Structure 1
Amino acid sequence: MKDKKPKKLKVVSKINKRLKKQRVERRVTEIIKIADKKNIFLEIFKTLLDDKDLDWREYQELFAVIKLLQVKMYLKLFEIDEPEVVDLIKTTLDKYKKITKQISKNTNWEAMIADEHFLKGQDLYLFKNDDTYHMIASIFAMPFKIFEHDQYYYDLGYFLSMYITLEVFVNKYNIPKNYEIYLAKLDVQLRMIRTFSNIAPKTFNISIKALNKWFDKVEKKEEIFKTKKKGEQK
């Protein structure tokens, strides 16, 4: 059968080529490349669609928007604001307004978790991503609104997106100076697993194993896991 997995986005390849021309750090282009070609978030999204007998091919635009939002967030965290790249992302996202217009307010888990761990979410650069998490989670949940407990899918999309981001951008080998950031990451992981088990009690462990395996592969690319010299705070 053709199209066994979502196609790569040409616009993301263009973004990476532009970044390479600007001689941006390799760790930046590597994480963008992974987001495009080996995106574990979208693989899990596809698995959940399959579990509900939903044809993922009908949701190709959702895959595209999620991928673009992830790339946009990663570039922000790496402090990359190359005008041509920023404009390219904005122009492309504008083409999907029919999707983004459907997004409505929902739980700001990032702020709640930051408060619980005595983190000032607005002061830490790793905790300034609610807008993106919210959009990604809302899009992630769209196909499942016809099912019971659709809020679980929003929550899972949020926790999964937040956990992947924290795991990639918080050094896996050294607990940050503010250890509460590390504990917050573990908190997000626990919430993600609990929500996942509510959605797919018989198969969630398979996706969790796939996620851990993905992290192991990414971990080998040491440049990606180097924390910014500025540390946790900006």
Structure 2
Amino acid sequence: MKKEFTVPPVVFPSSTTTTATNLHHRRLLTPPFPPSSIPFKSFDTGAAYAASTATVTTTATLFSGEPSLLEELEIDPSLIYRKTLSILNPLRVNSSVHDPPDLSGPLLYYASFSLFQALAGKVQFGVLLGWIVLFSMSLYVLFHMLEGKHGNLDLYRCCSLVGYSMLPVLIFSAVSLFVPKGGALRFALGAAFVLWSTRVCARLLVERASGGGREVFKLIGYPCLLVYTVFAMLVLF
């Protein structure tokens, strides 16, 4: 048995009615903030550049009077260069160049000597540093035993002089890398460079003595010979 359903008629509004309804319900959209409340501000690039330049200039002015890093560490490359040149002439040793004393040059020599020894297969940095301090203290005590209160040598200056006098042995350690091991030439070069270091170190120490310091040149030169012979033996063997 079929069941019938009643469907209400569909009425489509006309275009005139739709337009009127839309106009009735439409409202004007207003912005949340009035346009006049947001002022336009332009970015002045010239003023910003001038401000940044002024800041950089002020910072540069603040640090213009500051010393350099080398001056803070009390390292004078020109002084090290002059002292190195004075050591390279064993016949005329200029002791006045070694005032004031410093340890930056000797530490550079020790590091270079250790580097050459490492290239030869020997790691001896701690040994070198310990021995050079021990030898410097020994020469300092011996010098004051010979000169008493008349000597003008402190421990800091003694370490500086002994360290700079190590330059010939440093050159020998570099040259020995290209000389065959076990030959007579290697030992002859070692003896020559040891005598060079001994003469320079003894002369510099004697220049710090007063009165009869020159008379004890051989007494001071003998322990200097032992010191640099030990370092030469580290290179040879």
TM-score (norm 1): 0.39
TM-score normalized with structure 2 length: 0.39
Which of the two has higher C-alpha Rg? 2
